[in-house]
Chain A
Amino acid sequence: MTDQTPRLELEGITKAYPGVIANNNVSMKIMPGEIHALLGENGAGKSTLVKFIYGVQKADSGILKWEGQEMAMANPNAARKLGIGMVFQHFSLFDAMTVEENIAIGISPELAAGDLNQRIRDVSQQYGLPLDPTRYVHTLSVGERQRIEVVRCLLQDPKLLIMDEPTSVLTPQEVDELFKTLRRLSEEGVSILYISHKLQEIKDLCHVATIMRMGEVVDDCIPSEESPRSMAEMMMGANLVSPERSGKAEPGAPHLVVRDLSLASGHQHGVDLKNVSLEVRTGEILGIAGIAGNGQIELMEVLSGEMLVDDQNAVMIGNDAVGKSGPGVRRNAGMGFVPEERLGHGAVPEMSLWENAFLSGSSTMNLMSNGFININGSVEYAQNVVSEFNVKTPGVEHTANSLSGGNLQKFIFGREILQNPGVIVALQPTWGVDAGSAAFIRQSLLDLAAKGAAVLVISQDLEELFEVSDRMSVICEGELSAPRPAEECTVEEIGLLMAGISHETEAAHA
């Protein structure tokens, strides 16, 4: 290995955006056959670096060497010609076309010519990526869609495969399958640049890791010799405090109850909810796992009151039936919600923090008299949120979009929690949030439950759910599995449920 030329070598890559240096003097080497992790929090500059390698974006300065030769990557086409393939986090597939058609339009015409169908079958068989070229994309699961992207790259005989957060849409079982494929590719000499912030996966899969923080390479390590915790600390540059449960309170009576709720989704390509029933008791956290796009958004809308149902009794907060009542009524009944999107849903990006505090607290915090806004009261409330939830901001008159993702999420959580809700529902509470803020938010959810609130967390992040939940349930294609105590659940079971394989159906197959 030692005398080999690196497949890809970067020296001193710098790229600045207005007001921020996304990459500052970044250097790294990727050897042939190496699975190289690029690890960092959101905003650490991983995507910028990858976009540069793949020719999507130019750097301000720095050198890229491909197999020892200095190159200027003009565009993704040039990168593909050299043998760089990339699987993006968000797929670019046409739903109304078949797998084969989608692959054909994504590769060069010469490559698409001939018996593409057969070659797709060959590649997918060779690498254990079962895929039927004649199927229409809209009939495929997210995991299968990702396989299309992978197969598309493999058809081009890549020497370097870049994968951007590939597992965020996969079940644990699908992740295992993908890893097998990646390991086989690595044995064949393909280098893989694997971008992720999931530490256990990196430890399991990658040979080396480059760790980035705030645009700079801060460390290198051999993941197999590290623990996820030590890597997290390198990534954050600080010690990580895991959430702790303070003395377990016995859960009380059901406080948030949903009964037999079925609802057609209001979104295009949305998922209908089918006979969803759930109970969240006071003092407990119910976690709902599931792959994105299985009805989580719809469930959240039905719970928050942004989507109403015909049966008033289908959603109960304590003794209040609220199925047909909007968010205002539900807030007054003691419900707080944290939607997935921070900017534009949970907060108005261009409004000040105190106005955003008023947004959800106007009635519950008594910030209004005769329809007039109590500005002093709102400012004071926002300041309380900022100080109690460690929100880093120069002042509450600054706009929501001036905050970093983690700080804004802490602000939104603080805003809901200080309203003293009896129930809180959060969708993807730590999505795209730095590890420090994520730990803080999880801790505040645990504290809230310890004080007797009923907490419902809907998340794709299994680690997070296992960390906070008392009971767990899985949503798949709009159906909710029966909740079970979290300590009795295994990742494997939850994974199977996420893939839509329940014990009964499995038994039926056997």
Chain B
Amino acid sequence: MLRLELRGELSRSMIYWSPIFAVILTFIAGMIMFTILGVDPLKAIVTFFIEPLNSMDGIAELFVKATPLVLIAVGLSFGFQANVWNIGAEGQLTIGALAGGGVALLFFNVDSPLLMPGMIIAGILGGMAWAAIPAFLKTKYGTNEILTSLMLTYVGLLVLSYLIHGPWKDPEGQNFPESRLFHDAAIVPIILEETRLHFGWIITLFGVAVAWVVMTRHMIGFQIRVIGMAPMAASFAGFKEKHVIWLTLMISGGAAGLAGMIEVSGPIGQIVPVISPGYGFTAIIVAFLGRLHPIGCLFAGLLMALTYLGGDNAQIEMNLPNAVTGVFQGMLLFFLLASDVLVRYRIRFGKATALVAPAAATPPMAIDEEGA
């Protein structure tokens, strides 16, 4: 008989093993699913997870897809650690793309090296502005940021739709709902010839490094962690919850806005009706798969990017439906949450027995049933 038994202290190693278990279980479940669908499971797994990385182009493409995922996930993980649940990164990405892209369109005839920094700043500010609404509502009126940030995503998408069908439509675009193509000065430079790999990936790696330092070594990260783990201890230390709510929403909103701006000025090169295939939502999975740790988010983002590439490849090579991508992403999150049980519990076989270390060897407070 299987039994779960509470651990005395959280398992440090399980925190890192659990995502790996999740990936393995996803593979196994995926193979079972393919078998049921009547597809050769090994071939499907190879097509999905290995073939996309066969070429330099494929690897570059992986980084291109991972760029927004990692950037947004790193930003979100600040908030999630502080129990600030920004679910609206997709909307902040959209507004960031519009703000950054708007600068490009406004100066479509200006060819200055200052244009790109201007677009970056505008993208970040755009995302922040969109995240400022839930931050204001939460700190001022105590609204739930999960709802407000999520609902604002749809508002953001409508703003995009309005602009693209109206004022920002390309005058020479034969009435297609698209902006004019960005000129060269407004395009993020390519860093690997013959591929689409662009400078945005460098920005993302830089963001990961900065986030890592801030989270582990800086007072900002410390405050965020304390607020998330023990709000009373945070007020004991004099940390202000409202500051942290604003701070984390600005960080996550800014990162999402930057990611959106990089998308339109990088791989896309203009503003189109659909800027992101749900990067803002997928990044939530990335953040948790990466244990809300910047380096973890980097690896998780790459894995998640692979599911996008694999899904595309499976469609082309094996005529599998596009939904396969979503299924894999969902399974990953599902198995991750399931494996996380092992962080707090250990599995025991057989019946409950009194086989434990003598009480003297462990701190007596492991049993918390003694009141006062």
Query: Which residues in window 378-436 of A have CB below 8 A to B?
Result: 399, 401-405, 407-408, 431-432
Q: Which residues from A are CB-within-8-Å of B232?
A: 339, 341, 344-345
Q: Which residues from A are CB-within-8-Å of B9?
A: 399, 401-402
CB nearest to B363 among chain A residues: A404
Cβ-neighbour of A21 out of B358, B363, B370 (below 8 A): B358
**Does A243 sit at the interface, judged by CB under 8 A?**
no
Interface string of A333-345 (1 = CB under 8 A from B): 0000101010111
**Does A492 sit at the interface, judged by CB under 8 A?**
no
Query: Total interface residues on A, using CB and 8 Å?
Result: 66
Cβ-neighbour of A43 out of B235, B237, B355, B370 (below 8 A): B370
Cβ-neighbour of A337 out of B222, B225, B236 (below 8 A): B236
CB nearest to A43 among chain B residues: B364
Q: Which residues from B are CB-within-8-Å of A47?
A: 369-371
Q: List the count of A-B residue pairs having beta carbons below 8 Å apart.
A: 151
Which of B226, B238, B356 has the largest number of chain A CB atoms within 10 A?
Answer: B238
A161: shortest Cβ distance to chain B, in Å?
A: 18
Once A168-B372, A350-B229, A358-B222 are accepted as A-B contacts, the answer to whether A20 and B237 lie under 8 Å apart by CB is: no
Interface string of B183-222 (1 = CB under 8 A from A): 0000000000000000000000000000000000111101
B238 touches A214 (CB 8 A): no
A54 CA / B221 CA spacing, docked (Å): 47
B352 touches A22 (CB 8 A): no
Q: Which residues from A are CB-within-8-Å of B360?
A: 214
Once A90-B371, A215-B359 are accepted as A-B contacts, the answer to whether A17 and B233 lie under 8 Å apart by CB is: no
A392: shortest Cβ distance to chain B, in Å?
A: 8
A41: shortest Cβ distance to chain B, in Å?
A: 8
Query: Which residues in window 190-218 of A have CB below 8 A to B?
Result: 214-215
Q: Which residues from A are CB-within-8-Å of B366?
A: 17-20
Q: Which residues from A are CB-within-8-Å of B43?
A: none
Q: Which residues from A are CB-within-8-Å of B238?
A: 305, 326-329, 331
**Does B114 sit at the interface, judged by CB under 8 A?**
no
B100: shortest Cβ distance to chain A, in Å?
A: 29
> Binding site of A, secondary structure by majority: helix, strand, loop or mixed?
mixed
**Does A362 sit at the interface, judged by CB under 8 A?**
yes
Which of B7, B217, B232, B358 has the largest number of chain A CB atoms within 10 A?
Answer: B232
A326 CA / B237 CA spacing, docked (Å): 9
A327 touches B229 (CB 8 A): no
A347 touches B233 (CB 8 A): yes
A360 touches B354 (CB 8 A): no
Interface string of A162-203 (1 = CB under 8 A from B): 001100100000000000000000000000000000000000
Q: Which residues from A are CB-within-8-Å of B370?
A: 42-44, 46-47, 432
CB nearest to A305 among chain B residues: B238
**Does B323 sit at the interface, judged by CB under 8 A?**
no
Q: Which residues from A are CB-within-8-Å of B226?
A: 348, 351, 359
**Does A324 sit at the interface, judged by CB under 8 A?**
no
**Does B5 sit at the interface, judged by CB under 8 A?**
yes
A60 touches B354 (CB 8 A): yes
Cβ-neighbour of B362 out of A19, A339, A344, A401 (below 8 A): A19
**Does B32 sit at the interface, judged by CB under 8 A?**
no
Q: Which residues from A are CB-within-8-Å of B236?
A: 304, 306, 327, 337, 339, 345-346, 359-360
Interface string of B330-372 (1 = CB under 8 A from A): 0000000000000000000000111111111011111101111
**Does A72 sit at the interface, judged by CB under 8 A?**
no
B7 touches A18 (CB 8 A): yes
Q: Which residues from B are CB-within-8-Å of A253?
A: none
A214 touches B364 (CB 8 A): yes
**Does A78 sit at the interface, judged by CB under 8 A?**
no
A42: shortest Cβ distance to chain B, in Å?
A: 5
Interface string of A11-55 (1 = CB under 8 A from B): 000111111111010000000000000000011101110010000
A51 touches B372 (CB 8 A): no
Once A21-B358, A327-B237 are accepted as A-B contacts, the answer to whether A368 and B372 lie under 8 Å apart by CB is: no
Chain B interface: which of A94-102, A226-234, A369-377?
A: A369-377
**Does B8 sit at the interface, judged by CB under 8 A?**
yes
A309: shortest Cβ distance to chain B, in Å?
A: 16
Q: Which residues from B are CB-within-8-Å of A432?
A: 370-372
Q: Which residues from B are CB-within-8-Å of A375?
A: 217
CB nearest to A325 among chain B residues: B238
Cβ-neighbour of B367 out of A48, A326, A431 (below 8 A): A48
Q: Which residues from B are CB-within-8-Å of A337?
A: 236
A19 CA / B348 CA spacing, docked (Å): 13
A217 CA / B225 CA spacing, docked (Å): 43
Q: Which residues from A are CB-within-8-Å of B354?
A: 14-16, 21, 60-61
CB nearest to B355 among chain A residues: A16
Q: Which residues from B are CB-within-8-Å of A298?
A: none
Q: Which residues from B are CB-within-8-Å of A149?
A: none
**Does A242 sit at the interface, judged by CB under 8 A?**
no
* 22 A-B pairs (CB sep. < 8 Å): A14-B354, A17-B367, A19-B8, A20-B356, A21-B356, A21-B358, A22-B369, A43-B365, A44-B370, A89-B371, A89-B372, A90-B371, A168-B372, A347-B230, A348-B229, A349-B229, A351-B225, A359-B233, A373-B217, A399-B9, A401-B9, A432-B372
Interface positions of A (Cβ within 8 A of B) = 14-22, 24, 42-44, 46-48, 51, 60-61, 89-90, 164-165, 168, 214-215, 304-306, 326-329, 331, 337, 339, 341, 343-351, 355, 358-360, 362, 368, 371-373, 375, 399, 401-405, 407-408, 431-432
